[in-house]
Structure 1
Amino acid sequence: MGMIKVLTDTTIYIKDGKIADHGEPLVIEKGCYAVPGFIDEHTHGGYGIDVMDTDYEGLRNLTNKLPGEGVTAFLPTTMTASLKKIRELLIIL
C-alpha cells in the first residue's frame, strides 16, 4: 500500500473531471485517487488498542493513527460486557 496524505478542512473543486482549485499544490499521481475521509461505523480498535480495554490516552492514540489509513471519523464499538464495564468505557468515549 502506498502513502496516504490526509488533508483536513479542505475543499477540492473539480471541473471537467480535473482538480480546478485547492489552495496549495496538489499532485495526484497516475493510479492514485482523491477520496473523502472514510467513516468507520463499527470498530473495536486497532494498532494493539482494544476499545473495551483502553483508557483516554489509548483512545486518543487510536484517533491519531486512523487518519493514516484514510479513516477520519469512527464509532468505537463495545462488546458484550458487564454494565459497569460499559459505563466506565462510555465515560472516556
Structure 2
Amino acid sequence: LDLNLEKSIKSYSLGNRKKLAIIQCLLHEPELLILDEPTSGLDPLMQTRFFEIVKEKSNQGMTVFLSSHVLSEVEKHCDRVGFIRDGQLIHLS
C-alpha cells in the first residue's frame, strides 16, 4: 500500500492513516473484519486497491462487514446488504 514507514504517524494524511489501519487489521488474518466507512479519505486508486484486497480476503474465507454511505460502492462490492435505522436491522438482502 506504499507507506513511508520512516515518517511519524502523526504526520500522515487521513488517507495514509487509513491505509495503516487497514494493514493493522489484516496483519493477524482475522476470521471477521468489521470496517466503518473504510474508503473515506482514500483516493480513487487506493479505494480500488482496497476493494481488491477485501475481495481476495473474502475469497480466502474471511467475513468482511463494512458500513458505508456510498451506495454505489456497496452495490458494486458487497454480496449481502443490510440497512440499519435507529440501531435496528430493518432490511437484509
Q: What is the TM-score with the length of structure 2 in the denominator?
A: 0.29
Structure with more of its chain in helix, by fraction? 2
Larger RCO, structures 1/2 (Cα 8 Å, 6+ apart): 1
TM-score when scaled to structure 1? 0.29
